[in-house]
Amino acid sequence: MPLKIHKMDFSPPVGAALMVCDVHNVPIETIDINLFAREHLKPEYVKKNPMHTIPLLEDDDFIIHDSHAIMMYISDKYGKDDSLYPKDLQKRALVNQQLFFDTLLFYRTRSITFAALIEGVRKPTEKQLNDLHEGYSFLEGFLSKTKFVAGDNMTIADISILSSVSAMRHIIPIDDTKYPKTAAWFKFMTSQSFFKKCAEKGSLIFGEMLKKAMDL
């Protein structure tokens, strides 16, 4: 049976999970969850995921509801090699470290986008915008040391951070004079077939939603 992924296309974590499935050529069945219609709060969904978030992965009766955990699981189960998620303890620790960093990027972005799309707050605070700039500066620091975020080859950390940055750039575009390494990395990552196939459309939809909901 194919894996089932519950999703809504504009979600950055959903995009990350879908991209990793595509990279590993994993057959999946997608199930749309309309957050605005509060489908994620239906009892049958909350029973599967008490946090009522997306994405949610079902592998028969096994369920995971965190995008990073999904990416790890998919890579361990279906990866033809361990290049995207190394088995070497220290290399894996570096990837995990950047996945935790991605959580910071995502929630700094979400603090703005949730307020805009759900609560009607049209303008982020100066602190919220400064937090995004700081996120870019952290990423620039990582990419100044290695070609990718956790070393010199692409890993699931790059794919996950790509999804977050593809949302961030709709609030604060990547300044290639301040963040040249980040801009070059983002250009390369968005040129990859897995992004174009699985996340580009959702990111553009997200950008249009924010354009209507925010004053930037």
Task: Name the residue range of residue 113's domain.
Answer: 89-213
Give the percent of the chain with pLDDT over 90. Answer: 98
**pLDDT confidence of residue 38:** 94
* Dihedral (CA of 34, 197, 181, 71) sign: positive
Strand stretches in the chain, DSSP E: 3-7, 28-32, 56-59, 62-64
pLDDT in tens, 53-98: 999 999 999 999 999 999 999 999 999 999 999 999 999 999 999 9
What pLDDT, on a 0 to 100 scale, did the predictor assign at position 70? Answer: 98
d(CA 200, CA 180): 22
pLDDT of residue 1 exceeding 80, the answer is no
Residues 209, 109 within the same domain:
yes
Domain presence at residue 84: no
Identify the residue whose tokens are 């190394």: 86
For residue 85, what pLDDT is reported?
98
Question: What's the pLDDT band for 194 if we cut at 50, 70, 90?
Answer: very high
Question: Do 150 and 126 fall within a single domain?
Answer: yes
| Predicted TM-score (pTM) above 0.85 | yes
Q: Tell me, what CATH number does 96's domain have?
A: 1.20.1050.10
Shared-domain flag, residues 18 and 123: no
Q: Give the dihedral sign, CA 33/39/42/46.
A: positive
Evaluate whether 161 touches 102 at the Cβ level (below 8 Å). yes
pLDDT computed for residue 26 by the predictor: 96
Active site residue 160: no
CA distance 179 to 182: 5
Domain end: 12, 43, 78, which one? 78
Query: Which one from 11, 160, 163, 203 is the annotated catalytic residue?
Result: 11
Using CA atoms, how far apart are residues 113 and 144, in angstroms rounded to an integer?
29
Interatomic CA distance for residues 215 and 183, integer angstroms: 24
3-state secondary structure of 103: helix
The whole-number pLDDT of residue 208 equals: 96
Q: What are phi and psi of 140, to 5 degrees?
A: -60, -40
The pLDDT tens digits for 4-23 are 999 999 999 999 999 999 99
The number of folded domains in the chain is 2
Q: Which of 58, 60, 71, 63 is nearest to 22 (CA)?
A: 71
Chain segment 157-178, per-residue pLDDT in tens: 999 999 999 999 999 999 999 9
Angle CA 9–14–20, to nearest 5? 120
**In the prediction, which pLDDT does 130 show?**
98
What is the tens place of the pLDDT at every residue in 100-133?
A: 999 999 999 999 999 999 999 999 999 999 999 9
Instruction: Note whether 98 and 24 are same-domain residues.
Output: no
**Domain containing 8 — which CATH number?**
3.40.30.10
> Which pLDDT score is estimated for 13?
97
Using pLDDT thresholds of 50, 70 and 90, give the confidence band for residue 216.
Answer: confident
The half-sphere exposure of 52 on its side-chain side, counting CA atoms within 13 A, is 13
Sheet of strand 56-59: strand arrangement: 28-32, 3-7, 56-59, 62-64
Residue listed under structure tokens 């919220």: 128
